[in-house]
Amino acid sequence: MDTCLKPHVFDTAVNAVDSSRKWKHRKRTFVSYTARLANITAADKLAILVNLFDTSVYAYISECTTYADAISKLDEAYIKCVNEV
């Protein structure tokens, strides 16, 4: 596996100005990284995902038991609705 593709630890606070942009980038980086791994399961993805988060980010998914649920919770926390007038 190319180590250059491995994502670094994600430690962006939810209330940071650019948190949505950073989360979207991290999510895409993670999907690209796991796509290169052979025979990876959803359980493996969850374990890798947890390993790549700072403890403050992990708090959002600490009770998630599936990869899909964890991604959903993180999308919920980081992607803000745009207010249109």
Put simply, whether the predicted model's pTM sits higher than 0.85 gets the answer no
Q: In the predicted model, what is the mean pLDDT of residues 22-41?
A: 91
Residue 17 in domain? no
Residue 73 in domain? yes
Structure tokens, 58: 């992990």
Residue 31 in domain? no
> What range does the domain containing 55 cover?
40-78
* Residue 76: half-sphere exposure toward Cβ, Cα within 13 Å: 8
How high is the pLDDT of residue 64?
95
Residue 53 in domain? yes
Q: Are 8 and 29 in contact (CB under 8 A)?
A: no
Residue 74 in domain? yes
CB atoms within 10 A of CB 69: 13
- Tell me which amino acid residue 23 is: W
How high is the pLDDT of residue 66?
96
Residue 1: which pLDDT band, with cuts at 50, 70 and 90? very low
Please provide the average confidence, as pLDDT, over all residues in the chain.
88
Residue 32 in domain? no
- Give residue-wise pLDDT tens across range 39-55: 999 999 999 999 989 99
**CB neighbours of 85 closer than 8 A, spacing ≥ 6?**
none
Strands (E), 1-85: none
What is the number of domains present in the chain?
1
